[in-house]
Amino acid sequence: MVKTQTKILIVDDEELNLEILGEYLEDSDYELAFARDGQEAIDTLNAKPHDFDAVLLDWMMPKLSGIEVLKQMKAHPDLMHIPVILQTAAASKQDIVKGLHAGAYYYLPKPFAEDILKTIVASAIRDRKRHQLLCKEIENKTEALTLLKSCCFQFRTLTDVKKLSAFLARMCPAPEKTIMGLSELMINSIEHGNLEINYEEKSALHKEGRWKEEVEKRLQDPQFKERSAEIQCTKDNERITFRITDQGPGFSWDQYLDIAPNRAFDTHGRGIAIAKAVSFNEIEYLGCGNEVVATVYTNQ
C-alpha cells in the first residue's frame, strides 16, 4: 500500500502541549500521531520506520530525552533522514549547538505560536519531500556512471539541478547522502549566486510562499537570464571532487558553513551546513563565494 498522506509524530510529555500542537496542525492536511515520552517515540518509529515524514520532538522528557531520541534516529538507516523539529524553551547558544551536533536542524521555540509552528513544519516537510524525490531520481540513473573519471556541465534552472544532482550523485559511494548536499550547493549557486536573492528576501518569499515563483521570474529577467552555473567533477582512487561556479557577485559564505544559534529558528539557511555535516567530507568556498569545492572520499 502506497503512503499518500504526510504523517507527523508529535512527542511531548505534557498533555496540554499535545492538544495545542494537534489543534494547530489539524487543518494542515497532515496525519498526526502522538507519543508521550521519548521511549514511546522511539518504539513507535522503530515499529514503522517508513511511516513518518517528520518528528516534532520535545527536548525535556522522561525515560528518553529529545536529544537521546534524536541520536537513536540518526543511528538508524531508515530513520536518519526524517527531519526532527526540536521544540524547546531552552534557547541558549550552548543548548542549540548541542542539538545541532546531534542532528537537529529545525527548531520550534516555546511557547508555541501557530504561524511559526506551521511555517517550520512546512519547511521540514518540504525538505523531506525534496530528498525523497531526489533519491527516486537516483534509482533511474545508470550504474555505469561509477566508471566516470571527469565531466563538466552547465545548469541554469531548478529542473537542471534536480536532474544533474541525481545523475552525479551516482558517482559516490553513498549517493542518497551526497544528493541532498549536491542539490543544496547547486541551488545556492542559482538563487544566491546568479539570481542574487539574499537571505532576507528568501525569508520573506518563504513566508509568502513565493520562493519558487520568484526564482522562475528572475530566470527570465534580462538582468539574470544570460547567467549560468557550472559543475566540474573529477574522480580518482581516493576522492570525488565537485567544483561549482556561478556568475553572481558572491555572498558571505563563511557564516553559513555552520548553523548559527541566532538563525536556528529560521525557516531556511541550513542547506550549506547540512551539506557539510552530512553529504561531504570537505567543503571549501573560494574567493567571494561564487565558487565552492565539495569533496567525497571514496574509501569510506
Tell me the CATH number at 148: 3.30.565.10
Residue 299 phi, psi dihedral angles, 5° rounding:
-100, 30
Residue pLDDT, tens place only, 247-261:
999 988 888 888 776
Ramachandran category for residue 212: left, alpha or beta (phi over 0 → left; psi -120 to 50 → alpha): alpha
Same domain, yes or no, for 164 and 106? no
Whether the pLDDT of residue 125 is over 70: the answer is yes
Q: Are residues 284 and 252 in the same domain?
A: yes
At residue 93, the pLDDT reads 64
Q: Beta strand pairing status for 150-155 and 106-109?
A: unpaired
pLDDT tens by residue, 138-196: 665 555 566 778 899 999 999 999 989 988 988 888 888 899 899 999 999 999 999 99
Give the structural domain span for 148: 141-297
Q: What is the pTM of this model?
A: 0.72
- Tens digits of per-residue pLDDT, 208-236? 889 999 999 999 999 999 999 999 999 98
Residue 289 shares a structural domain with residue 174: yes
Q: Do residues 166 and 277 share a domain?
A: yes
Residue 89 CA to its chain's centroid (Å)? 23
Examine the domain organization and report whether 245 and 291 are in the same domain: yes
Are 77 and 178 part of one and the same domain?
no
At 101 the pLDDT is 73
Q: Are residues 215 and 81 part of one domain?
A: no
Which whole-number Å values give the CA distances from 281 to 79, 87, 276, in the listed order? 22, 29, 7
Cα 165 from Cα 174, distance rounded (Å): 13
2 domain residue, yes or no: no
- One domain, residues 122 and 166: no
What pLDDT, on the 0 to 100 scale, is given for residue 1? 45
